[in-house]
A and B are shown apart, each in its own frame.
Chain A
């Protein structure tokens, strides 16, 4: 599956989408869901929580394992995708539409430090070796 070019990525397999209202939407990548297998449980952060960049803030559990999800950038949680609490399998079905939460960035320049699609592709290729 190709990596969407309109998103930014982290080394820890989160994707980040900049919205027109200045917030960012965050999810996990197709590669991450493939590694984890069938999702069975998602724990999301509280709306209003202030997150520091790289802070553990959510958990995705599959039939196989639990994976921590980290805040790609600092910010305040403005919305969570509570649909995933009853239907975590949506992450397997389409990882790039099954978003986890939205942040209002504290420091939008942190976005510049994230990987672009090509950079994430390189990151995955290096992982294979």
Chain B
């Protein structure tokens, strides 16, 4: 039996093509994935991301607990409402999950974790809680729904729908959030566009979804979500990284705080293990489409190295295929590499990613 979000019927009413996504019955698209992609880049689209799980952590000194649990440093969170992107590592330095942590007060932090890892994450966090901070209360919030509204016009359309939201959120910077009545509104996302991720009670979700639609926000499915996040150069857990890869090999070194004195789970392994691989962006020079798991061949001073595409696809904004690939550290920007596609070797260029930000191609 597939799990369903509170918006399942709403998707069906909009003629969504539903698919099994890691045990969840989710919309792949509502007709055309490409059209949904462009709507988000040019106007405003909405995604049901209620399969993801908010987890509230409450009690005395939550911050002290998260300093040890998370690889990024929660001491960067000074203003209430501020959010931080981080990995949660195992003692070997492998990534258990990537998540966003919101600082609401010293006695209340909220994290939002991936759907596929939600149970594993919760069990891990509870286990760490038991040994580090047994008095903290950890509450998975399956009673909540989550809708991402993304695109250049996303915020203005949300303002039309939630009374008082313009005044409450107009001055929010990126990675800041606010609680307004039953809505938790964060200026975050997974598309490379401006917008909000909004958490609200499950029972209010359908009405809110329909009101957004009436305000001209287009429903967008998981297909568009994937091409948008790939263009935005954002990692997907389980594809670009997992428990066997470290953040330093996953393009996430910037989220790991190794400078402070602070100890966190996985830190020692990260410091002790040499980094031999890196995540790079690829743009295909030849015609074709890059896909996950294709082999990337590069050459340096007579030695051949093999890497692998972790996420690949067609970029609707650039109109070319792009990919994220894990390759040898020797590979540098602007190198030309070969990708093995069926019986062919296609040429690709190593580029800095994101590929697209705020509607504009960067490569």
Contact = CB atoms under 8 A, between A and B. Distances in A.
A37 B29 contact: yes
Contacts of B288: 41, 43, 61
A93 to B, nearest CB: 11
Contact of A59 (B29, B223, B342): B342
A126 to B, nearest CB: 21
A40 B284 CA distance: 14
Given A37-B29, A61-B314, A66 B34 contact: no
B45 interface: no
Contact of A41 (B33, B289, B342): B289
B227 A63 contact: yes
A64 interface: yes
Interface in A18-64: 37-38, 40-41, 43, 59, 61, 63-64
A129 B204 CA distance: 36
A85 interface: yes
A56 to B, nearest CB: 9
Nearest to A40: B314
Interface string A78-121: 00000001000100100000000000000000000000000000
B291 A63 contact: no
Contacts of A64: 28, 33, 223
B332 interface: no
Given A37-B29, A38-B34, A63 B287 contact: no
**Chain A CB within 10 A, most for which of B34, B223, B313, B321:** B34
Contacts of A40: 34, 289, 314, 316
Interface residues of B, number: 16
A81 to B, nearest CB: 15
B342 A63 contact: no
A64 B19 CA distance: 12
B223 A37 contact: yes
B32 interface: yes
Interface in B284-335: 287-289, 291, 313-314, 316, 321
Nearest to B17: A37
Contacts of B321: 41
B347 to A, nearest CB: 16
Contacts of B223: 37, 63-64
24 contacts: A37-B29, A37-B32, A37-B33, A37-B223, A38-B32, A38-B33, A40-B314, A40-B316, A41-B321, A43-B287, A43-B288, A59-B342, A61-B288, A61-B289, A61-B314, A63-B33, A63-B34, A63-B227, A63-B316, A64-B28, A66-B289, A66-B291, A85-B287, A92-B32
